[in-house]
């Protein structure tokens, strides 16, 4: 009997030990935040394919490392309204911050609507010196003054607006910022995107993170090689850096011998591409007939072609078939 009891006690100890005991659990949030030790900017592709960004902002380590979050879907002209909202004050019409940008898709995004509300809530728990600021960087357009195509022209250079906001509000003030944009604005491979422009004056300023949204070929095998998730995998010095560039969803041609993900420092894996969810359309925006009428007015004013996404009906049709908001 004593032998049986001893064996049962030993078994209980064995089964009480977690399978990964003694192993350090992956900490992609910690890895990303550590990048701020050497870079004033961490630039991540957006909108997120999972919950990483929201979990990161909830992380108690985040406010100690980051001062600002710079967003693509935000009209820079409405920064005072956004500041008031993020600080917890009254901000009627806050949805105009993301609805009145140069990009119609922003108005239907649920990501930025939730992001702003989350930062506002997190700020209620922080002292004044640690409160996070959200910076809107889309050109400061006033749609009420746009009645013809020439009225839109001063606001077409979105990267110039992003550069101006980051330079004057972050870098010149020696602050740290998380940038959330489509990857085309973020890669630092000598192109015309905002990060590439900023790094001509501030070399090495940014650490660029791309989301995994599927390899272009041999996806199942390569995803298995990425292993468990979530994981933040560096490109340089890893097997990802030795992959032919054609395995990544780059949007321009590179020489045949190019390796890795050009202009990207790390790769965020939040699960297999087949399990990633599309960002849903905002029901508030879809059902807002006054807003849809205004979008049609804007499309007519700038003489947008009937098949362009400036027209809400065309945008909805494209979203149904391609997932513009997440994978377009």
The sheet with strand 133-138 has its strands ordered as 133-138, 68-75, 177-181, 41-45, 206-211, 266-269, 231-234
Torsion angle defined by CA atoms of residues 183, 189, 195 and 200, in that order, rounded to the nearest 10 degrees? -170
Residues 262, 189 contacting (CB under 8 angstroms): yes
**Cis, bond preceding 230 (omega within 30 deg of 0):** yes
Instruction: Round the average pLDDT of the chain to a whole number and report it.
Output: 88
Burial of 327 (0-12, 13-18, 19+ CB in 10 A): middle
* Nearest alpha-carbon partner for 299 in 282, 312, 316, 287: 312
Pairing of strands 206-211, 41-45: parallel
299's tokens: 């499309």
Residue 295: the pLDDT is 97
Task: Give strand ranges (E) for the chain.
Answer: 41-45, 68-75, 133-138, 177-181, 206-211, 231-234, 266-269
Model confidence over 155-192: pLDDT tens digits? 999 999 999 999 999 999 999 999 999 999 999 876 78
Distance (Å) of CA 295 to CA 92, 110, 254: 20, 18, 38
pLDDT of residue 47: 83
pLDDT at 275: 83
Residues 70 and 51: beta-carbon distance below 8 Å: no
Under CATH, what is the fold of the domain 28-327?
A: Rossmann fold (3.40.50)
* pTM of the predicted structure, to 2 decimals: 0.88
pLDDT value at residue 17: 37
Over residues 28-52, the pLDDT tens digits come to 999 999 999 999 999 999 887 788 9
What sign for the dihedral angle of Cα 288, 290, 294, 300?
Answer: positive
Residue 320 falls in which region: left (phi positive, over 0), alpha (psi -120 to 50) or beta: alpha
* Tens of pLDDT, residues 7-29: 334 343 333 333 344 445 679 99
Indicate whether 268 pLDDT > 80.
yes
| pLDDT range class, residue 252, cuts 50, 70, 90 | confident
State pLDDT tens for residues 208-235. Answer: 999 998 999 999 999 999 888 889 999 9
Q: Report, as an integer, the average pLDDT of 307-328.
A: 76
Band (152; pLDDT cuts 50, 70, 90): very high
For the residues 90-109, what does the mean pLDDT come to? 94
Q: Does the pLDDT of residue 117 top 90, yes or no?
A: yes
Q: What are phi and psi of 15, to 5 degrees?
A: -75, -15
Higher pLDDT, 16 or 151: 151
| Dist. CA 308–CA 220, nearest whole Å | 34
Closest CA to 310 of 299, 301, 320: 299
User: Torsion angle, CA of 71/77/79/81, rounded to 10 degrees?
Assistant: -120
The predicted pLDDT at position 41 comes to: 98
């Amino acid at each position: 009997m004593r032998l049986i009891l001893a064996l049962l006690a030993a078994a209980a100890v064995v089964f009480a030990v977690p399978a990964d005991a003694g192993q350090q659990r992956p900490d992609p949030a910690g890895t990303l935040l550590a990048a701020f030790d050497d870079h004033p900017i961490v630039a991540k592709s957006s909108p997120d394919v999972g919950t990483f960004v929201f979990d990161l902002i909830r992380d108690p380590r985040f406010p100690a490392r980051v001062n600002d979050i710079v967003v693509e879907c935000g009209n820079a002209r409405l920064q005072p309204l956004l500041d008031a909202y993020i600080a917890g004050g009254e901000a009627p019409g806050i949805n105009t911050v993301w609805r009145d940008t140069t990009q119609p898709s922003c108005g239907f995004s649920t990501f930025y609507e939730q992001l702003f509300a989350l930062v506002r809530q997190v700020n209620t728990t922080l002292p004044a010196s640690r409160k996070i600021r959200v910076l809107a960087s889309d050109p400061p357009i006033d749609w009420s003054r746009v009645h013809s195509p020439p009225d839109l022209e001063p606001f077409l250079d979105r990267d110039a607006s992003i550069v101006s906001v980051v330079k004057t509000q972050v870098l010149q003030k020696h602050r740290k910022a998380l940038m959330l944009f489509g990857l085309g604005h973020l890669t630092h491979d000598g192109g015309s995107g905002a990060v590439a422009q900023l790094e001509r004056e501030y070399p090495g300023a940014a650490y660029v993170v791309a989301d995994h949204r599927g390899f272009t070929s041999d996806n199942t095998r390569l995803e298995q090689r990425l292993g468990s998730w979530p994981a933040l995998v560096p490109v340089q010095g890893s097997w990802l850096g030795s992959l032919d560039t054609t395995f990544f969803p780059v949007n321009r041609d590179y020489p045949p011998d190019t390796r890795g993900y050009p202009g990207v420092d790390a790769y965020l894996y939040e699960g297999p591409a087949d399990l990633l969810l599309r960002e849903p359309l905002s029901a508030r925006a879809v059902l807002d007939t006054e807003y849809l009428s205004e979008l049609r007015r804007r499309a007519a004013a700038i003489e947008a072609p009937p098949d362009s996404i400036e027209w809400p009906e065309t945008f909805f049709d494209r979203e149904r078939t391609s997932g513009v908001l997440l994978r377009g």
